[in-house]
A = this chain, B = another copy of it.
Amino acid sequence: MPEKSSTSVGIDFGGTSVKLGVCRDGELLALDTPIITADFNGPAALITEMAARVAKLRVQHPEIASIGVGVPGLVDFEHGFVHILTNVPGWKHVPLKAILSEKTGLPVVVENDANAMAYAEFRYGAARGLNNIVALTMGTGIGGGLILNGQMYRGSGCAAGEIGQMSIHCDGKAGHYGNLGALEKYTGNREIAEHAVQRYAEANVIKTIEECTPKMIADAAKAGDDIARQIWQEIAEWLGTALASIAWLLNPDAFVIGGGVAQAGDLIFDPLKRKVQSMLSTVVWERLQIVPAKFSNEAGIIGNASLAADAIKA
């Protein structure tokens, strides 16, 4: 692993916007204004805009030596080929690396967004210096990225890390693929909100889905709301079951957790640690850290830039 890296552009391609920044050694040197994804009709126009933005950034930073792009979907990392982005119309079978590289003359790396987040935490974040890391991003869905034996682990079809689809209950609620007990169906933001509405209703408190975001439940718990505290305890039981299973399988150094749920701080991390410890042997538990992600909005930019910088050094 190179300790010093060159300057790169990191591109965080989301369903709503495309964020771009210039990084070196995990430091954000410049941040561009986001591209609004919907303003560009299809891959060709959007990639042309990405290339124009890179050209602009190179005026200030002529030392830029590579580009890393993270995308919300399935990619072929080796070829930088986007199979499909479910939430971005028109993105199917796009040779993103080839096109962007041709337009900019720079080496390009294309990665899944959850993997890029994991890489940012591994290289410069909460899990820096550790060898075996499981990173989770908790939002509407639950994504994951794995660093194993000090390397990004992508799996045989670049589809590894789908922690939200793992089962915590063999007869439980069906996930998107008919997979019973899918973690996402218990601890995705929408499912947490639905569960909270129900728990409040049981106590004759009427709340709407919109009033039960992770932040709102955290604020309520901090204000002394016992129902809200109980909800965090339940989230910890569900999430902890999945993390303990992963720990038995992989004996990792750390779980790094990002996203709305993680922002509840000790409200989630305290019961989560207790739950995971209660499910593990001493040997597996004693090496394990469960920590919040260091990076939030900028994780994608930093992770993708770092992947690109390390790839050209390797």
Contacts and interface: CB of A to CB of B under 8 A. Distances in A.
Contact of A284 (B157, B170, B250, B287): B157
> What is the oligomeric copy number?
2
B284 A159 contact: yes
A26 interface: no
Contacts of A172: 170
Interface stretch (A28-36, A99-107, A178-186, A297-305): A178-186
Contacts of A161: 249, 251
Interface of A: 74, 83, 131-132, 144, 146, 148-149, 151, 153-163, 165-172, 177-181, 237-238, 241, 244-246, 248-253, 278-281, 283-284, 286-287
A157 B251 contact: yes
Nearest to A252: B156
Given A157-B251, A160-B251, A170-B237, 8 more contacts: A149-B151, A159-B281, A159-B284, A167-B244, A170-B238, A177-B279, A179-B248, A179-B279
Contacts of A168: 167, 169-170
Q: Which 7 A-B pairs have the closest CB atoms?
A: A155-B251, A166-B245, A160-B251, A179-B279, A170-B241, A165-B248, A162-B248
A159 B279 contact: no
A240 B244 CA distance: 18
Given A151-B149, A245-B245, A249-B249, A156 B170 contact: no
A252 B172 CA distance: 24
Given A144-B249, A241-B181, A279-B179, A153 B149 contact: yes
Given A167-B279, A279-B180, A283-B74, A155 B237 contact: no
Contacts of A149: 148-149, 151, 153
A241 B155 contact: no
A131 B153 CA distance: 12
A131 B160 contact: no
A170 B235 CA distance: 12
Contacts of A251: 154-162
A242 to B, nearest CB: 8
A181 B253 CA distance: 23
